[in-house]
Amino acid sequence: MLGKTANGIFWMYRSLERAENTSRLVETGQRIALTRLGDTSDEWRSILQTAGVISGYDQHYDSYAGDTVIDWLLRDLNNSSSVQSVIRNARQNARLVRTALTHDVWEATNGCYMEATKHLTRKVTERDLPNVLGLVRQRAALVRGATHGTMLRNDIYDFARLGTFIERADNTARILDVKYYVLLPSMMSVGSSIDNVQWDTILRSLSANGGFRMEYGSATSPRDIAQFLILDRRMPRSLAFCANKLRENLHYLENTHGSDKPSITMAEDLVSGPLSRPIDDIFDQGLHEFTQDTLAKIAKLSRQIEIDFRFYE
Amino acid sequence: MENGDILNEMWHADGSARQPYKDFQSWFEGEDLSRLRAKQREAEDIFRLTGITFNVYGRAQAEEKIIPFDIVPRILSGREWQKLSRGIEQRVRAINAFLYDIYHRQEIIRSGRVPKEMISKNAAFLPAMIGVDPPGGVYTHIVGIDLVRTGEDQFYVLEDNARTPSGVSYMLENRETMLQMFPELFARNRVQAVQNYPRDLWRSLAASAPSVSNATPTVAVLTPGIYNSAYFEHAFLADQMGVELVEGHDLRIVDGRVAMRTTRGYHPIDVLYRRVDDDFLDPLNFNPESTLGVPGIMDVYRAGGITIANAPGTGIADDKAIYSYMPEIVEFYTGEKAILENVPTWRCSDSDSLAYVLDNLNDLVVKEVHGSGGYGMLIGPTATKKDIALFRKKLQARPGNYIAQPTLSLSTVPVFTRAGLAPRHVDLRPFVLVSPNSVNITPGGLTRVALKKGSLVVNSSQGGGTKDTWVLED
């Protein structure tokens, strides 16, 4: 396949994953805003930070009011990571790599774009917000479903998966990076209702609350949450899960592309490092250092994939 | 009823259906208009979702439009098609022979049938192609011949598209859409298939591969990119053939071959179906500003390292000034009279013709010699006084830049409107594939229809739509 096509596929799936993650962040933020009394601007601020879009936001607004933050995250085309921007980007990439996609995947992507455009052209009212967010996630899920159901398991699929899991790992690491302090062991003894809200927020922004309850019941401890989101290989948004998928897909590419790629070594390191050790080791070394280090490793791996597979000239 | 001089392809003057439309007519009479209106909207939804869109030049960037699709098929009988098909094959063979000759010994000029300056002073003539032998001897691998009909047995060739004719994806998608919406129509009519076109295209291109190629040649489609108005078609054809869709920046010359950058390194291409104009193909040999092409591809081509389809320089054969010589060209190379007629054409470079044209501007169609897409054209009978005055000045200033033709009474086929069926003018572009050992014509083609009442302009950029085109098994 063409290097350009690999690049297009990679970014198409990164963008779709980001659309889903950002809409989930908005949903979480809105939930906190509705269930909590008093000022929520700190919460919105940390959501902007998590989404990595706060510097752009600060250039346009000077306060963190819910409706402007939501608009920035959802619709604003000045924000290249807004849901509307990334869905456009996914569709643009899909057009570019149309020959690498099945008819079903292309139609699902184009349908996602058409539906999103319909609902995001005008400002979304508070009343419509849950519907619109649900719709974005549903449409992105349709693309994923069509991908699993109709795409050949060849190198094209591998690049789609690499894009998905780089983005997902990055998202999970960011959420942990922004909220690491509420998971620190020192907080364990506190256990106030505010902490419960914070823990709930982290789980919800990764669609992990249901899964966590299933595993751990109602006894929430920050250590368990960290264990679940960082190391649990059954949890599809955990760092260990994503790292493992990245390694797997790079190994599939070995069959057609040879095994001499630095990106393979990097993925191996990611999996075999702290992600293979008990959670207490991570706490001992510092949760914040760990998340920072992981974010840097993911970014480096992503750049190496671009080089190894000739995404650009 | 409309003007009796104009052929309505669906109905006789007495209101009964012409033979090919009999089944369709009886089906239509049993249909509920509101259901059909819903179907018409459904068709548009299918086009939007499938992404069968084009960009209109001069509008906001990336604005995507769909070409209006009309649900009434254009139907030809097998007998009508056979005659057309023979005429098209004859014409396409003559065009290829003409191109070979023009870029080699130029016998047709020596014989005096075509004046020397028509070639040597023509911008579409590519000196870089002189003496070059394209692999397999094929110049025009893909041709679209634009036909109009004026009577039961009267078809005219309006234009030969020998460079990079577009529209074939619409032919295919129109059929898919009709099959999806009205399966019952295909059960009661025996419509000849068009679906094999992509496979035939691949075979035809592969058969034209250069001798350096492996047993299974590597074919690729070259597109100017995602913002080109026909990008959908480029992606569609590459997808349907199962080949790579490349842009100039994916390609470079490696070891004397044109190669594409894959995730595994550079891989040589044997046949490049390019949808990029000659001028942009090679910045080293042609327009140095071009970023759409491949620097040095012409040198590889001349050395026999790649097949370019269509060959560079084929524009000389579909130039509007050369067009007027087509009857002579067909006769010169095939030894037979042309089966398909040309529209009578006045070359304004000739002073007698210019005088006639200037005296009759109200009745004539005037076209720019190098124009396309219905731009830069005057349709006398419907033009305003101001337009006619403007063209008079243009003609006097640069007569050699124009040709003129009588206004033809184009046949009509009904379109489905809110009020039911209404006749509209149509043309037809059949698609022809040429390989070293065969000429393959897909039965049917693209019917373009002027959606505005009375209008003769069928171009999609100016309010035209398309129809599915059926050729029936007799």
**Nearest by CB to B49, which of A96, A98, A110?**
A110
A208-267: pLDDT as tens digits: 999 999 999 887 888 999 999 999 999 999 999 999 999 999 999 999 999 889 999 999
Q: Is the predicted pLDDT of residue B263 greater than 90, yes or no?
A: yes
Cβ <8 Å between A96 and B262: no
Chain B CB contacts of A155 under 8 Å are 263
Kindly list the residues from chain B whose CB atom is less than 8 angstroms away from the CB atom of residue A146.
none
Whether B244 has its CB under 8 Å from any CB of chain A: the answer is yes
Q: Of the given ranges (A159-173, A235-249, B305-319, B360-374), which has the lowest mean pLDDT?
A: B360-374
pLDDT of residue B454: 87
pLDDT at B3 over 60: no
Tell me, yes or no, if A151 comes closer than 8 A to chain B by beta carbon. Answer: no
Residue B227 forms contact with A (CB below 8 Å): no
User: Token digits for A273?
Assistant: 């490092």
Gap from B65 CA to chain A (nearest CA, Å): 13
Res A39 pLDDT > 50: yes
Check whether A291 has a pLDDT greater than 80.
yes
Q: Tell which of B48, B237, B240, B263 to mutate to test the A interface (max A CBs under 10 Å).
A: B263
CB contacts < 8 A, A to B, total 57
Q: What is the pLDDT of residues B391-411, one digit of tens each?
A: 999 999 999 889 999 988 899
| Residues of chain A contacting B247 with CB distance shorter than 8 Å | 4
The CA-atom distances, in angstroms, between B232 and each of A308, B372, B432 are: 30, 20, 20
Instruction: Say whether pLDDT at B196 is over 50.
Output: yes
Q: Which residue of B has its CA nearest to A105?
A: B50
Band of pLDDT at residue B63, cut at 50, 70 and 90: low
Is the pLDDT at A186 greater than 70? The verdict is no
Distance, in angstroms, between A293 CA and closest chain B CA?
29
Closest Cα in chain A, distance from residue B51 (Å) = 7
Note the pLDDT of residue B343: 94
Tell me whether B363 touches chain A (CB under 8 Å): no
CA B469 to chain centre: 15
CA distance A7 to chain B (A): 9
pTM of the model: 0.91
Closest to A50 in 3D by CA, of A18, A77, A76, A13: A18
Please tell me the total number of residues recorded for chain B in this structure: 474
Predicted pLDDT of residue A187: 57
Question: Which of the pair, B63 or A188, is modelled with greater confidence?
Answer: B63
Single-letter residue type at A27: E
CB contact B233 to A (< 8 Å)? no
Asked whether the predicted pLDDT for residue B57 surpasses 70, the reply is no
Q: In which element (H, E) is residue B268 found?
A: strand B265-268
Taken in order of first residue, the domains within chain B and their CATH numbers are 344-407 (3.30.1490.270)
The least confident of B51-55, B220-224, B402-406 is: B51-55
Whether the per-residue pLDDT at B434 is higher than 50: the answer is yes
Q: Do B226 and A111 touch (CB under 8 A)?
A: no
Interface membership of B265 toward A (CB under 8 Å) = yes
Smallest Cα distance from A88 to chain B, Å: 12
Per residue in B274-284, is it b (16+ CB within 10 Å) or e — as a string? bbbbbbbbbbe
Residue B459: predicted pLDDT = 83
Residues on chain B touching A96 (C-beta within 8 angstroms) = 226
How large is the average pLDDT for residues A128-152?
95
On whether any CB of chain A is under 8 Å from the CB of B246, the answer is yes
A65 close contact with B: CB closer than 8 A: no
CB-based contact (8 Å) between B44 and chain A? no
Q: How far is the C-alpha of B160 from the C-alpha of B145, rounded, in Å?
A: 5
Nearest CA in chain B to A91: B51
Q: Is A102 on the interface with B (CB under 8 A)?
A: no
Q: Within B136-282, where are the H helices?
A: 168-181, 183-188, 197-207, 231-241, 278-281
Cβ within 8 Å of residue A260, ≥6 positions away: none
Residues A310, B265: C-beta atoms closer than 8 Å: yes
Complex ipTM value: 0.86
Both structure tokens of B464: 């035209």
| Residue partners of A265: CB distance under 8 A and separation at least 6 | none
Top-ranked range on mean pLDDT: pick from A295-299, B163-167, B185-189, B459-463: A295-299
- pLDDT confidence of residue B374: 60
**Tens of pLDDT, residues B364-387:** 999 888 765 566 788 888 889 999
Residues A313, B249: C-beta atoms closer than 8 Å: yes
B263·A107 Cβ contact <8 A: no
